[in-house]
Amino acid sequence: MKKLLAAALMVVFAASAAIAAAPDTMVLKAKNGDVNFNHKQHGALGCKKCHATEQGGKIEGFGKDLAHKQCKGCHQEMKKGPVKCGECHKK
């Protein structure tokens, strides 16, 4: 029982540390202008909206194509957020 409790506490601790470690705003470098991404604002959607797990972490294969598909697609689906080039990419 103690081992199970200890394991559960470690999972909670690791998840909270991952969330706390995420910066509020990230700058995604792009050739046609950097994208300022408000991680804190998007976190309200839940980590699995973008990440493979609720613990977050690096997004496998993240780049221009995935960003346009996932990010822009979500904005279109929710009818909220930027969808045009200049709305995301600031020069």
Instruction: Tell me what pLDDT residue 91 has.
Output: 77
pLDDT, position 3: 57
Contact (CB, 8 A) for 42 and 88: no
pLDDT in tens, 76-87: 999 999 999 999
How far apart, in Å, are the Cα atoms of 14 and each of 2, 21, 49?
Answer: 18, 10, 19
pLDDT, tens digit (0-9, with 9 covering 90-100), for 21-55: 567 999 999 999 999 999 999 999 999 999 999 99
Model confidence at 89, in pLDDT bands (50, 70, 90)? very high
pLDDT at 2: 54
Q: Please, what are the domains in the chain?
A: 2-90 (3.90.10.10)
pLDDT digits (tens, 9 = 90+) for 60-73: 999 999 999 999 99
